[in-house]
Amino acid sequence: MQGKGDFTVKDLYEKMGVRPQVYDFGKKIEQGLEERFKKLDETAEYNQLKVLSAMQKNRVDEACFYPSTGYGYNDQGRDVLEQVYADTFHTEAALVRPQIACGTHALAVALFGNLRPGDELLSPVGKPYDTLEEVIGIRPQKGSLAEYGITYRQVDLREDGTFDYPAIEQALTPKTRLVTIQRSKGYQTRPSFSVAQIGELIAFIKKRKPDVICMVDNCYGEFVDVIEPSDAGADLLVGSLIKNPGGGLAPIGGYVAGKKELVEQAAYRMTSPGLGKEVGASLGVKQAFYQGFFLAPMVVKGALKGAIFAAGVYEALGFPVLPDSKEPRQDIIQSITLGSPEKIVAFCQGIQAAAPVDSYVSPEPWDMPGYDSPVIMAAGAFVSGSSIELSADGPIRPPYAVYFQGGLTWEHAKFGILMSLEKLAQAGLVKL
Ligand SMILES: *Cc1c(COP(=O)(O)O)cnc(C)c1O
């Protein structure tokens, strides 16, 4: 494409550090992905209309954006936003708050709100996300569910990544009150689950124990499909606003959506028994929450294109990628097994060099608290720690896999991936 003064986009890439041979390599991969990208456009179009229709139905107007302070009584814009989430996810109610600090907090609020001493929590999909281990008490921690006398049972996935139905059936006891199902693999090596698979699992469980609460950790999954786990029988849906549904604009927050009574219980835990959803000032974040949710289907589409492009580029170079560039996607995370510490570092330095913020810094591996090996992280985000923005991280240990996710626009994700390839090529770690 011709640009101003006879400069092409390829020239501009070169000026910004991506050499023509790297650009051409990417171009070839991109051309092979046209059909896939078209499907993503269709999903995004559907989800865009879904969100828009929920906003129109709830008569969102300028007054919804006015900040509230103090107790936040009668914050109508906050209540309308929660109904917009509920209508989009087809649930009875939702809690969408800046007081929810992150995804882990949202999950903790849903769990503590709905479990009582003597109850048992079941994960039929293996080990949950790292941070939940301390919430549950798998790793002992002050204030965990275990300290409150709530027990935990886990059924691991079978070797091929499928559900172990006979073991799940056995693990359902009269004490089982809540079943937690994590949709995304997070940073594990198991597959992520489709909404249809989750629906099957929930149906199996409900058939045997109709009164059990089925909660889905929906982190990284929102808007990847045209349906959500709440469309497949989940009673509770939980996620983070600095991932998919915040659309890159929400500066903080989390959500819990689902059956009215269960969301209410979560709200009593989030604020206080008796106060629940009635308090909690929204300060000045509501416009960002609304606008981010409005943009989220498009942002998720860009992130998915980036993930698929990364898979395409690196599988063409012979690296194991998960998922591969052809498989259906259930979340926005891409893992690439690079096979050596140097390659992880070069990859992450490329992602960092492509960022709109902090592009001049160079990430290095460091001993992060809570990890048993050094970790390198690349992120140059507008919202600190946001992983819907282009980011990558890799623990420096075999098999030396890097996890890549996000990108507020496809164009930026593409640039980041080409920049990572450039760094690897420059260091002589890959041959194009
Ligand atoms: C990110 C994530 C969480 C926790 O979210 P934080 O915002 O990091 O606390 C929980 N579960 C899954 C699957 C996630 O991806």
Write the pLDDT tens digit of every residue in 394-422: 999 999 999 999 999 999 999 999 999 99
Ligand 1 geometric centre to CA of 29 (Å): 31
Check if 151 has its Cβ closer than 6 Å to any atom of ligand 1.
no
**Is 368 or 132 the better-scoring residue by pLDDT?**
132
- End-to-end C-alpha distance for the chain, whole angstroms: 24
Atom of ligand 1 nearest to the CA of 184: 13
Q: What is the DSSP string of 341-386?
A: HHHHHHHHHHHHHT-SSSTT-----B--TT-SS-EEEEE--SSTT-
Report how far ligand 1's centroid is from the alpha carbon of 129 (Å): 7
Q: Residue 18 — φ and ψ, nearest 5°?
A: -105, 110
Closest C-alpha residue for ligand 1 atom 6: 103
How large a percentage of the chain has pLDDT more than 90? 94
Residue 253, pLDDT above cutoff 70? yes
pLDDT at residue 218 tops 70: yes
Q: Residue 6's pLDDT is what?
A: 63
What's the pLDDT band for 188 if we cut at 50, 70, 90?
confident
Residue 121 DSSP SS3: strand
5 — pLDDT class (breaks 50, 70, 90): low
* Torsion sign (Cα): 172, 262, 299, 227: positive
| Tokens 């099957």 sit on residue | 200
pLDDT for residue 56 = 98
Mean pLDDT, rounded, of the chain = 96
Is the per-residue pLDDT at 1 higher than 60? no
- pLDDT tier at 189, thresholds 50, 70, 90: confident
- Residue 182, ligand 1, Cβ within 6 A: yes
Residue 391 in contact with ligand 1 by CB distance below 6 A: no
For residue 186, what pLDDT is reported? 82
- Under the banding of pLDDT at 50, 70 and 90, the label for residue 4 is low
Pairing between β-strand 321-322 and β-strand 236-240 as defined by DSSP bridges: unpaired
| Percentage of the chain exceeding pLDDT 70 | 98
Q: Encoding tokens for residue 101? A: 């600090």
**Residue to probe by mutation, ligand 1, list 107, 123, 131, most atoms within 8 Å of CB:** 131
Residue whose pair of structure tokens reads 């499928």 in the numeric block:
162
191 pLDDT band, cuts 50/70/90, is: confident
Question: Whose CA is closest to atom 3 on ligand 1?
Answer: 103
The CA distance from 141 to 139, in Å, is 6
Name the 3-class secondary structure at 209.
coil
117-135 as b/e: b if 16+ CB within 10 A: eebbbbbbbbbbbeebbbb
| Ligand 1 centroid – CA 203 distance (Å) | 25
For ligand 1, atom 5: residue with the closest CA: 103
Task: Specify the DSSP class assigned to residue 108.
Answer: H
Where along the chain do its domains lie? 6-46+296-426, 62-293
- Both tokens assigned to 393: 């991280």
Q: 219 in ligand 1 pocket by Cβ < 6 Å?
A: yes
Residue nearest to atom 14 of ligand 1 (CA): 219
Out of 219, 222, 224, 393, mutate this one to test ligand 1's pocket (max ligand atoms within 8 Å of CB): namely 219
DSSP H helices in 115-259: 130-136, 165-171, 195-208
At CA 195, angle to CA 220 and CA 42, rounded to 5?
75
Whether 129 is in the pocket of ligand 1, judged by its Cβ within 6 Å, is yes
Please indicate whether residue 191 or residue 150 has the higher confidence score (pLDDT): 150
CATH fold group of domain 6-46+296-426: Aspartate Aminotransferase, domain 1 (3.90.1150)
Which pairing describes strands 120-123 and 176-182: parallel, antiparallel, or unpaired?
A: parallel
pLDDT of residue 187: 77
Inter-residue contact 331 to 222 (CB < 8 Å)? no
pTM above 0.85, yes or no: yes
Class of domain 62-293: alpha beta
Q: Residue 316 burial (CB < 10 Å; 0-12/13-18/19+)?
A: middle
Count Cβ atoms within 10 A of the Cβ of residue 165 and give its class: 0-12 exposed, 13-18 middle, 19 or more buried.
middle
What is the position in ligand 1's atom list of the atom closest to the CA of 131? Answer: 4
CB distance 57 to 87 below 8 Å:
yes
The DSSP output letter for 169 is H
Most informative mutation of 109, 240, 393 for ligand 1 (most atoms within 8 A of CB): 240
Is 102 touching ligand 1 by the criterion CB < 6 Å? Answer: yes
* Residue 266 to residue 243: CA distance in whole angstroms: 20
Rounded mean pLDDT of 49-62? 98
pLDDT at 347: 98
What is the structure's pLDDT at 370?
A: 64
CA–CA gap between residue 196 and residue 211 (Å, rounded): 21
| Ligand 1, atom 8: closest residue by C-alpha | 103
Above 60 in pLDDT, residue 2?
no
Quick one: which of 116, 266, 124 has its CA closest to 208? 124
Q: Is 58 in the pocket of ligand 1 (CB under 6 A)?
A: no
- Are residues 175 and 145 in contact, defined by beta-carbon separation less than 8 angstroms? no
Q: Is 188's C-beta closer than 6 angstroms to any atom of ligand 1?
A: no
User: What integer pLDDT is reported at residue 368 of this predicted model?
Assistant: 79
219 has pLDDT over 90: yes
Ligand 1: distance of its center to the CA of 103 in Å? Answer: 5
Burial of 259 (0-12, 13-18, 19+ CB in 10 A): middle
* Model pLDDT for residues 322-373, shown as the tens digit of each residue: 999 999 999 999 999 999 999 999 999 999 999 999 999 999 999 877 677 8
pLDDT in tens, 221-240: 999 999 999 999 999 999 99
